[in-house]
Amino acid sequence: MSKFSDRYDPGPQIAQCGAINLGTTDLEKSLFFFRDTLGMEEVERRGNEVYLRCYQELGHHSLVLTQQDEAMVNSYSFRVKRPQDVELFHEELKRQEIEVLELAAGSVAGRGTAIRFLLPGGDHPFELYHDIDKPMAPEALRSRLLSNSSKRRGLATRRIDHFNIQTSPETINQAEQWVRDTLGFKRREFAHIPEHPDTILASWMSVTPQVHDLAIVANPEGKKAQCHHVAFNMQDFSDVLSAADTLKDLDVTFDVGPGKHGIGQAMYLYVFDPGSGHRVELYAGGYLIFDPDWEAIEWKRETFPDGLTYYGDTIDPFPPSISAVTTNSAGLILK
Ligand SMILES: [Fe+2]
């Protein structure tokens, strides 16, 4: 007799953010930042790619740094809950006539078969996979804490936290709806563009109890396929503040922060990877959602500034131009 819980089929589901592949024009500077300063473990090198993970990640990698001519995001990868979910999502994408590329096991180091496609309404390159190796760290790096893959080192980012992507105001509603309808993300907090009350300005969505695993924001210049930032999680607010001290002394360029978001209630510090220029958020705290009938919280013009910056170094809630939220372009390619 099968287990009671196995007799139900919830359909394909996303489990979590898996990894981001960042193209960098200066791999050594990016390694100085992510490996030597943030303290990530270099797990594997293959050609022009370096695979890294944080100290509380057992999977093979959450970050791939790829040396290339243009700094851009090569992929945003999400892990699905069950092995069969990769194929089930593939079938649904085909039904929706979305072009899908199949990626063979091992085409990304440590990872099983995957599918790749461009987010409808966004054109961001998304990948879905399930199988991932869980290699032991070298003995010298290994932690006595069995739930940690390696010792806490450097500024101690402990896991990848979320992606924040941008698309045009013309397509953001489509992208946000698609992510919810097809990938199963739940809208947790959101805002509309004040002058266009039917258009999403920003939506924070999750498949986990986090307030967001993925945020989609309207790009003020109307560009699609933009990456605003990738966030890595730290244990405490104090870790973010210590990171600010250290990174300032290392001449790492700050964007904004430290501060605390009202939306999600986490502490933030946005800095730029000195190798690639990608914006990286160091992120700690935040509330969790366990309520099964959570109603998404709407932030309006008068409350939205508190949502972005509850206290601390402020983020412009309504940036007049791209200069306030400059982004790296994401890959438009299905290769
Ligand atoms: Fe963020």
State the distance from the centre of ligand 1 to the C-alpha of 281, rounded, in angstroms. Answer: 6
The mean pLDDT of the chain is: 93
State the distance from the centre of ligand 1 to the C-alpha of 162, rounded, in angstroms. Answer: 7
State the distance from the centre of ligand 1 to the C-alpha of 278, rounded, in angstroms. Answer: 13
Kindly tell me if the per-residue pLDDT of 87 is higher than 70.
yes
Give the per-residue pLDDT at 332: 42
Give the per-residue pLDDT at 4: 86
Q: Which residues surround ligand 1, an ion (CB under 5 A)?
A: 164, 231, 281
Give the per-residue pLDDT at 331: 44
Give the per-residue pLDDT at 313: 87
Please give, one letter per residue, the 3-state secondary structure of 224-240.
CCEEEEEEEEECCHHHH
Least confident of 2-16, 37-51, 278-292, 310-324: 310-324
State the distance from the centre of ligand 1 to the C-alpha of 105, rounded, in angstroms. Answer: 30
Arithmetic mean of pLDDT, 79-83? 98
Give the per-residue pLDDT at 8: 87
State the distance from the centre of ligand 1 to the C-alpha of 320, rounded, in angstroms. Answer: 20
Kindly tell me if the per-residue pLDDT of 323 is higher than 60.
no
Arithmetic mean of pLDDT, 256-282? 96
State the distance from the centre of ligand 1 to the C-alpha of 265, rounded, in angstroms. Answer: 11
State the distance from the centre of ligand 1 to the C-alpha of 79, rounded, in angstroms. Answer: 19
Kindly tell me if the per-residue pLDDT of 284 is higher than 90.
yes
All structural domains of the chain: 9-133+157-328 (3.10.180.10)
Give the per-residue pLDDT at 317: 67
State the distance from the centre of ligand 1 to the C-alpha of 300, rounded, in angstroms. Answer: 19
- Model-level pTM? 0.94
Segment 92-120, tens digit of pLDDT: 999 999 999 999 999 999 999 999 999 99
Give the separation between CA 295 and CA 215, rounded to whole angstroms: 17
